Chains A and B, each alone.
Chain A
Amino acid sequence: MILGQRLGELCGHGPNLETDIALTNISLDLFGQTRSYLQYAAKLKGGDTTEDDLAYLRKEHEYKNALLVEQPNTNFAYVIARQFLFDVYHLLFLEQLCNSKDDQLRAIANKSIKEVKYHVRFSGDWVKRLGDGTPESHEKMQEAIDRLWPFTNEFFEATGVEDSAANSGVGVVLKDLKTGYFRQVIQLLTEATLTYPEQVYYLSGGKEGRHSEHMGFILADFQYMQRTYPNMTW
């Protein structure tokens, strides 16, 4: 959802019409998937809770997204690097979620996986184009990879909730995805004539609700309508 919002910020501001539409399509795919999860979560929570309550009315520390997705749209290379580093993880995650014991989650995963396969293809192609493009595009792509790389390990650090979901067969064992993830990412980076930083201090905390300084600004935009006009609907 947060990544969808980040991409949505680019609507009308993409580098050209075609790429603008492509990024907005991905944004809408992610929001669509988020709705499926939140509708289900609201149903499980019961009472009067709706998907909108969960989307719009949580406080900052109650959002449990990985730090990577809240990083800003610094330039197109950052947008692509962030997307690629997330998409590869997202696809591996959904492939496992297709084996979930929970019917609803399995159905959502099965539906989402086709969309995400395209996301990986799109962002991977762009990493190759920019990495193996002009000296300038290579330099910008490399910088974006170097700066966003420290956020990649958080995907595989399971929180308590993720552990118990995995143990009950509903969720995904995240650490099992790690080897495949880095193999796949590094292989594509090599193809794109890019490197990755070997010495890294990995950052995490987003999934526990400890966010980067960007999160508050995202939520200010994102929650504006519901906070200003409580209970409004379309």
Chain B
Amino acid sequence: MTKNWPLWEVFVRSKNGLEHRHFGSLHAADAAMALENARDVYTRRNEGVSIWVVESKDITASNPEHNGELFEPAQDKVYRHPTFYDLPDEVKHM
């Protein structure tokens, strides 16, 4: 039975105001069970205030073989980081 259960990815928001972060994955027969399993597996130590689950097959992932053309061209383009500005002291949290 377990073998037939699809895989789900679990995202947990640890505090209000923060974004949901990927916590891990688990098996479940459907979305409702995935949510309950996620609650039991990933939030039993007070890790979260909100859970998203999504079936792993619904996630489209980039192919590691394509990393060259996808990501490497960005490595030598430091000018795309907005780090060349002098920030006034009054601006905080940047």
Contact = CB atoms under 8 A, between A and B. Distances in A.
Among A18, A25, A129, find the residue whose CB has the most chain B CB atoms closer than 10 A: A18
B27 A16 contact: yes
A199 B44 CA distance: 42
A172 to B, nearest CB: 29
B32 A125 contact: yes
Contacts of B2: 15-16
A22 B1 contact: no
B29 A22 contact: no
Interface string B4-34: 0100000000000000000000111100110
Nearest to B29: A129
B77 to A, nearest CB: 44
Nearest to A16: B2
B44 A21 contact: yes
Given A15-B2, A16-B27, A125 B33 contact: yes
Nearest to A121: B36
Given A16-B2, A17-B41, A22 B27 contact: no
B12 to A, nearest CB: 15
By secondary structure, the A interface counts as helix
B40 A21 contact: yes
B56 interface: no
A18 B40 contact: yes
A122 interface: yes
Interface residues of B, number: 15
Contacts of A121: 36
Interface string A8-47: 0000000111110110010000000000000000000000
A21 B37 CA distance: 8
Contacts of B1: 15-16
Contact of B41 (A21, A118, A122): A21
Contacts of B37: 18-19, 22
Interface string A127-143: 00100000000000000
A38 B44 CA distance: 24
A205 to B, nearest CB: 34
Contacts of B32: 125
A125 B40 CA distance: 14
A177 B44 CA distance: 31
A92 to B, nearest CB: 22
Given A15-B1, A15-B2, A25 B40 contact: yes
B29 A18 contact: no
Contacts of B41: 17-18, 21
5 contacts: A15-B1, A18-B37, A21-B41, A125-B33, A129-B29
Interface of A: 15-19, 21-22, 25, 118, 121-122, 125, 129
Given A118-B39, A129-B29, 4 more contacts: A18-B27, A18-B40, A18-B41, A25-B44
